[in-house]
């Protein structure tokens, strides 16, 4: 069976268009006017020429997930046989390498640089306001393939990718939309790791840790900013005016930590959060990613988890009520049944992992807050979070009291609804200005979402 899988992986690697030479004849390639035709992976990234759908070249895991386990199964044997000169085994090794390089390609429109570049992740030249490419659910989507890659390479010194624009000596000026007005800063890279250094290929295990940690970097701080989308935000270092703090936070103790977490989708302006998609796509990184490199020199450090731990103890304690997560903060998965058990099934396992595996690396005060979340693993959070909280970066506010909960969200061009891509956002489900009130916790999820077209409820 493994022989057949090896041959299939070699054939698959040869069939997928990776370079421009795969989509053009020799004469076509020589006369091709594409300035990026020489880049590794360009034959896959440029969907206008390879016949693939745009969604296929931006969601590469749809290709790679299907063969990840097969790669893990045969990689070691194929690598050992290739070292003895086995041509078929070498074809398998080359096919795996070639196929997985598609994971690191970025479509031309999404790698444009500059203030005027319309980019999914904002102005990639300004790391004060963006975390870089993939700093949304992309990281978790790609994690499955990266686990296969780390094993598939059979060499921890081998870089995760050879795609040129992941290396610091690449001429990023080639990607500037307006070379006359924009310039590429020194040591630029598409991602910044938790250590603040550019993410660049050094070796597969270290590379994947560095890439994953990039989603947990806070570019700048703003006191009481509300939940912020990590990928496209408006942040300043100015101190929030006292009158604004008082109006929005009442008597709550001021904190230096901004209240934000990654959004699943970030594009125009400042996107708001997508709580459920964070839980199903990004939170698993907290518990799954370390296990892939546990007890090795390449493992993610505990300090990298302080930022997401802060997201959990502040924001989720305020938008969860009697085990349910607030409907107003959800994205396109607002209707799924698991949201009725969000606290128990999504948050608590992650909190337990943080406490048990990273206690020594996290501040004692933060560990105490996490342990408080574990006090009621079914219906939390506790009553100490009663009061009014304004998440003003996403135009949202929640009010908690003993026995009831209320929230309201607004929509604007600055803070659009989750998963809004069109010029006129649909907001999916949440009416702009709709006041939600809960006593039992499941009122909206069981009644409203099952009995009305909620995406039509704007302006109620």
**pLDDT of residue 455 exceeding 60:** no
Local confidence band at 141 (pLDDT 50, 70, 90 cut-offs): confident
Percent of all residues in the chain with a pLDDT value above 70, rounded to a whole number = 70
pLDDT at 385: 85
3-state SS class at 152: helix
Kindly state the tokens that stand for 140.
């978790």
**Arithmetic mean of pLDDT, 248-277:** 34
Decide if 420 contacts 275 (C-beta within 8 A).
Answer: no
* Integer CA distances (angstroms), 99 to 19, 54, 432, 449, in order: 11, 18, 45, 42
Strand partners, 113: 176
Parallel, antiparallel, or unpaired for β 320-321 and 324-325? Answer: antiparallel
Crossing angle of helices 68-83 and 2-15, in 10° steps, is 100
Decide if 215 contacts 139 (C-beta within 8 A).
Answer: yes
pLDDT at 211: 85
* Integer CA distances (angstroms), 145 to 68, 92, 153, in order: 6, 17, 12
**Arithmetic mean of pLDDT, 125-142:** 80
**Arithmetic mean of pLDDT, 433-457:** 66
**416-445: b (≥16 Cβ within 10 Å) or e:** bbbbbeeeebebbbbbbebebebeebbebb
When mean pLDDT is compared across 147-156, 222-231, 335-344, 404-413, the lowest value belongs to: 222-231
When mean pLDDT is compared across 134-138, 205-209, 213-217, 270-274, the lowest value belongs to: 270-274
Residues recorded for the chain: 460
Decide if 305 contacts 451 (C-beta within 8 A).
Answer: no
Angstrom distance (rounded) from CA 68 to CA 71: 5
pLDDT in tens, 45-82: 998 888 888 888 999 998 888 999 999 999 999 999 99
* Residues 6+ away with beta carbon under 8 Å from 452: none
When mean pLDDT is compared across 60-69, 175-184, 253-262, 410-419, the lowest value belongs to: 253-262
pLDDT at 257: 27
**pLDDT of residue 161 exceeding 90:** yes
Report the chain's mean pLDDT, rounded to a whole number.
Answer: 76
**73-97: b (≥16 Cβ within 10 Å) or e:** bbbeebbebbeeeeeebbbbbbbbb
Local confidence band at 412 (pLDDT 50, 70, 90 cut-offs): low
pLDDT at 172: 95
Q: Considering only CA atoms, give the Rg of the chain.
A: 23
Question: Between these two residues, 216 and 230, which has the higher pLDDT value?
Answer: 216
pLDDT at 105: 95
Kindly state the tokens that stand for 346.
């999504």
């Amino acid at each position: 069976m493994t022989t057949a899988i090896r041959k299939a992986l070699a054939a698959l690697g040869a069939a997928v268009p990776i370079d421009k030479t795969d989509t053009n004849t020799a004469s076509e390639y020589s006369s091709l006017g594409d300035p990026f035709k020489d880049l590794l992976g360009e034959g896959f990234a440029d969907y206008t020429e390879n016949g693939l759908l745009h969604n296929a070249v931006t969601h590469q895991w749809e290709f790679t997930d299907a063969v990840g386990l097969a790669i893990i199964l045969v990689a070691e044997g194929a690598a050992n046989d290739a070292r003895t000169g086995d041509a078929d085994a070498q074809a398998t090794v080359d096919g795996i390498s070639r196929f997985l390089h598609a994971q690191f390609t970025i479509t031309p429109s999404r790698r444009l640089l500059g203030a005027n570049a319309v980019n999914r992740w904002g102005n990639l030249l300004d790391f004060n306001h963006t975390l870089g490419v993939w700093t949304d659910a992309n990281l978790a989507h790609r994690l499955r393939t990266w686990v296969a890659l780390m094993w598939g390479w059979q060499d921890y010194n081998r870089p995760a990718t050879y795609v040129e624009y992941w290396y610091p000596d690449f001429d990023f000026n080639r990607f500037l939309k307006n070379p006359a007005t924009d310039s590429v800063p020194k040591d630029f890279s598409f991602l910044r790791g938790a250590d603040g250094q550019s993410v660049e290929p050094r070796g597969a295990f270290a590379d994947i840790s560095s890439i994953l940690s990039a989603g947990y970097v806070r570019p700048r701080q703003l006191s009481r900013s509300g939940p912020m989308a990590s990928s496209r935000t408006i942040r300043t270092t100015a101190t929030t005016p006292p009158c604004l703090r008082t109006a929005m936070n009442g008597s709550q103790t001021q904190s230096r930590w901004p209240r934000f977490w990654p959004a699943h989708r970030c594009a125009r302006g400042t996107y708001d959060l997508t709580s459920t998609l964070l839980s199903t796509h990004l939170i698993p990184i907290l518990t799954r990613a370390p296990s892939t490199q546990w007890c090795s020199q390449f493992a993610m450090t505990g300090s990298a988890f302080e930022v997401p731990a802060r997201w959990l103890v502040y924001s989720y304690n305020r938008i969860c009520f009697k085990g349910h997560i607030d409907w107003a903060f959800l994205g396109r998965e607002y209707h799924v049944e698991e949201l009725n058990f969000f606290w128990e099934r999504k948050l608590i396992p992650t909190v337990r992992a943080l406490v048990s595996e990273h206690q020594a690396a996290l501040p004692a005060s933060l560990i105490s807050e996490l342990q408080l979340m574990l006090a009621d693993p079914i219906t939390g959070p506790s009553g100490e979070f009663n009061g009014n909280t304004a998440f003003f970066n996403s135009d949202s506010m929640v009010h908690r009291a003993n026995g009831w909960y209320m929230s309201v969200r607004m929509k604007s061009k600055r803070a659009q609804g989750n998963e809004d891509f069109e010029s006129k956002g649909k907001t999916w489900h949440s009416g702009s200005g709709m006041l939600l009130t809960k006593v039992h916790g499941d009122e909206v999820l069981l009644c409203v979402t099952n009995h009305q077209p909620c995406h039509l409820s704007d302006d109620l």
